[in-house]
């Protein structure tokens, strides 16, 4: 808002009264606001419309009750239809209150003042009206920001929920191939990986909704409790509480809380225990002296509880952002994994990214007790069939986890050797007996229990590697089994 374009409009058919009113307002407000006058209702309406078109802010209109061309109540009701936010004051020398009641009912009259007026009463009423107008404007802007934030967060939550529903709808189609069969085995863990952050999102959205409701209800109350000079300190408190992101240990929290209680009691602050908890929650403990004026207000607990609610709102937003980022990563991994290139042509691909995609999908199993060690060298983009190679990484990682029963160490090494990219996947399982190591790549050979594997996994892996003019070998001893895949960097085969 540009304060140079703020106008108070005065309307009276008696020029002497109008000039006196204007002079008193100019002397009181100096150059803070412009004072415009009109000598009748018709002139006032025309001037009001003109000021609005020129972008002026009109917080207040002061009108006489009886004028020859238009009654004061009719004028103020017309002004209300043009600008409901503009506050209205009526000047009246009449004993009848019919016009006043009419404006109260239909134009939200702020005050009426009897003629002749007391100068001090008039100036105080006008000052309070203008302050009230801009305070309402400020609250409305803050409420709109909070409402927009809630709308955005709700939309993001709905989009993520729709993404999950889409994944469920396409599950049957995805598991038609061997690669999708592996995904089918993973789907329960993936659903858990998605549902966990979605649960956090739903909880955060509920928390945000509740906090918004409370904040929208309490913000006007707190503003009314605070004097004008306390407003800057209050806004600094809100900003500080929103920005705080320090995570304290229980021991640190207790230590800070004890110190705060002692300091608050030294300042004779009532309910020091309750207030200390709130101050720690909103991160106000090192700079508390700056907010002592607020601590000495009559309803300081309401003030600091509102700051705590806004801090909680920010925390919920951070939770939602973290959770949505996690779901986005899983959804991206699924889309990348499920993609199938129908052209049948080789593409340049980042195979480390593809391995990371598979690890993302296995995160539920990895969290059960698997330590993952990654040693990645920088690799160029490799001309290959990336969708086929995804099946290789899936099969080898899946077998490694089964060999360890999801407990142990999984190590993945990627490096360059001559003109080949080398990928080794090592697990700390029981190992493969020497007498069957030569058979594991044969079709239908499996050491797994019935129903746990078809015996085609490593056969398919070997065929895919051969298709890339590469090689695969296994080295196994108890406690250490390594599958090593070698792929040419440049292959036109």
Judge residue 203's burial from the number of C-beta atoms within 10 Å of its C-beta, 0-12 exposed, 13-18 middle, 19 or more buried: middle
pLDDT at 181 over 60: no
424-474 pLDDT per residue, tens: 999 999 998 888 888 888 765 666 554 444 445 788 888 889 889 999 999
Burial class (CB in 10 A: 0-12, 13-18, 19+), 25: buried
Residues 354 and 232 both lie in one domain = no
Highest mean pLDDT among 40-49, 112-121, 290-299, 460-469: 40-49
Asked whether residue 63 is assigned to any structural domain, the reply reads: yes
Secondary structure in 3-state letters for 365-400: HHCCCEEEEEEECCCCCEEECHHHHHHHHHHHHHHH
Q: 409 and 273, same structural domain?
A: no
Of 304, 340, 118, the closest CA to residue 222 belongs to 304
Query: 10 is in which domain, residue-wise?
Result: 3-117
Confidence (pLDDT) at 174: 34
Question: Is the residue at 399 inside a domain?
Answer: yes
Mean pLDDT of the 68-84 span: 92
What sign does the CA torsion over 128, 134, 138, 144 have? positive
Could you tell me which residue, 277 or 95, shows the higher pLDDT?
Answer: 277
In tens, the pLDDT along 366-404 reads 888 999 999 999 999 999 888 888 888 988 998 899 889
pLDDT at 326 over 60: yes
**CA-to-CA dists, residue 117 to 95, 112, 123, 132, 386, angstroms:** 14, 10, 10, 21, 87
Residue 340 is given by DSSP the state -
Same domain, 359 and 455: yes
Residue 334 pLDDT: 64
Conformational region of residue 221, where left means phi above 0, alpha means psi within -120 to 50, and beta covers everything else: alpha
Domain assignment present for residue 296? The answer is yes
User: Which residue(s) pair with 60 in the sheet?
Assistant: 8, 87
Percent of the chain with pLDDT over 70: 70
State whether 176 and 255 are in the same domain: yes
326 inside domain: no
Using alpha carbons, list the distances in angstroms from residue 187 to 41, 192, 198, 345.
74, 8, 16, 29
Least confident of 103-117, 324-338, 396-410: 324-338
Statement to judge: residues 96 and 174 lie in one domain: no
CATH number at residue 28: 3.40.50.2300
pLDDT surpassing 70 at residue 332: no
The closest alpha carbon to 323, from 170, 242, 206, 203, belongs to 203
Query: Based on the number of CB atoms within 10 Å of its own CB, is 263 exposed (0-12), middle (13-18) or buried (19 or more)?
Result: middle
Return the pLDDT at 158: 83
pLDDT of residue 177: 47
The torsion region of residue 12 among left (phi > 0), alpha (psi -120 to 50) and beta comes to: beta
pLDDT at 341 > cutoff 70: no
| pLDDT of 53 strictly over 70 | yes
Residues 273 and 232 in one domain: yes
| Alpha-carbon distance values, 23 to 36, 78, 119, 127 (Å) | 11, 26, 11, 15
Structure-block tokens of residue 172: 């049957």
**What's the pLDDT at 352?**
92
Same domain, 150 and 88: no
Length, in residues, of the chain: 493
Looking at residues 60-82, what average pLDDT do you find?
A: 92
pLDDT for res 199: 66
Final residue in a domain of this structure, among 69, 85, 117? 117
According to the model, what pLDDT value does residue 180 have?
53
Same domain, 455 and 378: yes
292 with 369, same domain: the answer is no
Indicate the number of domains in the chain.
3
Assigned domain for 152 exists: yes
Same domain assignment for residues 92 and 162: no
Mean pLDDT calculated for residue range 335-339: 59
Task: Tell me if 414 is assigned to some domain.
Answer: yes
- Quick check: is 79 in a domain? yes
pTM (predicted TM-score): 0.41
Same domain? 302 vs 158: yes
pLDDT in tens, 224-236: 666 677 778 777 7
* Closest among 234, 302, 292, 244 to 268, alpha carbons compared: 292
Rounded Cα gap, residues 260 and 272, in angstroms: 8
- The reply to whether 385 and 309 lie within a common domain is no
Instruction: Count the alpha carbons within 13 Å of 319 in the hemisphere toward its beta carbon.
Output: 19
Q: What is the pLDDT of residue 193?
A: 62
Looking at residue 388, which CATH number applies to its domain? 3.30.565.10
Give the containing element (helix H, strand E) for 55: none
């Amino acid at each position: 808002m540009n304060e140079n374009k703020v106008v108070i409009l005065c309307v009276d058919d008696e020029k002497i009264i109008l000039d006196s009113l204007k002079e008193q307002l100019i002397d009181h407000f100096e150059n803070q606001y412009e004072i415009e006058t009109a000598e009748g209702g018709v002139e006032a309406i025309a001037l009001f419309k003109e000021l609005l078109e020129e972008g002026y802010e009109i917080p207040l209109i002061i009108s006489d009750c009886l004028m020859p061309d238009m009654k004061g109540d009719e004028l103020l009701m017309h002004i209300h239809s043009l600008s409901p936010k503009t506050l209205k004051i009526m000047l009246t020398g009449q004993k009848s209150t019919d016009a006043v009641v009419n404006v109260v009912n239909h134009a939200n009259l702020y005050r009426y003042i009897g003629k002749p007026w007391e100068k001090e009463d008039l100036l105080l009423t006008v000052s309070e009206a203008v302050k009230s107008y801009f305070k309402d404007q400020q609250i409305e802007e803050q409420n709109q920001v909070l409402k927009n934030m809630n709308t955005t967060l709700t939309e993001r939550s709905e989009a993520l929920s729709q993404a999950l529903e889409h994944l469920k709808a396409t599950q049957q189609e995805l598991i038609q191939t061997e690669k999708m069969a592996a995904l089918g085995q993973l789907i329960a863990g993936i659903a858990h990986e998605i549902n966990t952050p979605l649960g956090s999102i739903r909880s955060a959205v509920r928390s945000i909704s509740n906090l918004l409701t409370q904040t929208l209800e309490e913000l006007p109350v707190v503003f009314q409790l605070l004097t004008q000079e306390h407003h800057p300190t209050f806004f600094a408190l809100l900003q500080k509480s929103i920005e705080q992101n320090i995570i304290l240990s229980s021991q640190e929290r207790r230590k800070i809380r004890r110190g705060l209680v002692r300091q608050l009691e030294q300042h004779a602050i009532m309910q020091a225990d309750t207030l200390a908890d709130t101050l720690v929650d909103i991160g106000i403990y090192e700079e508390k002296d700056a907010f002592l004026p607020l601590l000495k207000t009559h309803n300081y607990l309401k003030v600091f509880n509102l700051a705590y609610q806004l801090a909680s709102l920010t925390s919920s937003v951070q939770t939602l952002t973290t959770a949505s980022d996690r779901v986005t990563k899983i959804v991206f991994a699924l889309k990348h994994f499920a993609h199938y290139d129908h052209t049948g042509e080789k593409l340049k691909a980042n195979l480390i990214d593809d391995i990371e995609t598979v690890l993302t999908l296995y995160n539920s199993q990895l969290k059960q007790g698997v330590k993952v060690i990654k040693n990645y060298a920088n690799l160029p983009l490799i001309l290959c069939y990336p969708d086929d190679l995804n099946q290789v990484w899936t099969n080898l990682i899946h077998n490694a986890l089964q060999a360890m029963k999801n407990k142990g160490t999984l190590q993945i090494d990627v490096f360059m050797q001559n003109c080949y990219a080398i990928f080794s996947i090592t697990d700390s399982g029981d190992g493969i007996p020497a007498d069957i190591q030569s058979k594991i790549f044969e079709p239908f050979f499996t050491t797994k229990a019935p129903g746990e594997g078809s015996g085609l996994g490593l056969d398919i892996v070997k065929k895919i590697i051969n298709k890339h003019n590469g090689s695969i070998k296994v080295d196994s001893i108890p406690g250490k089994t390594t599958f090593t895949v070698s792929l040419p960097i440049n292959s036109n085969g």
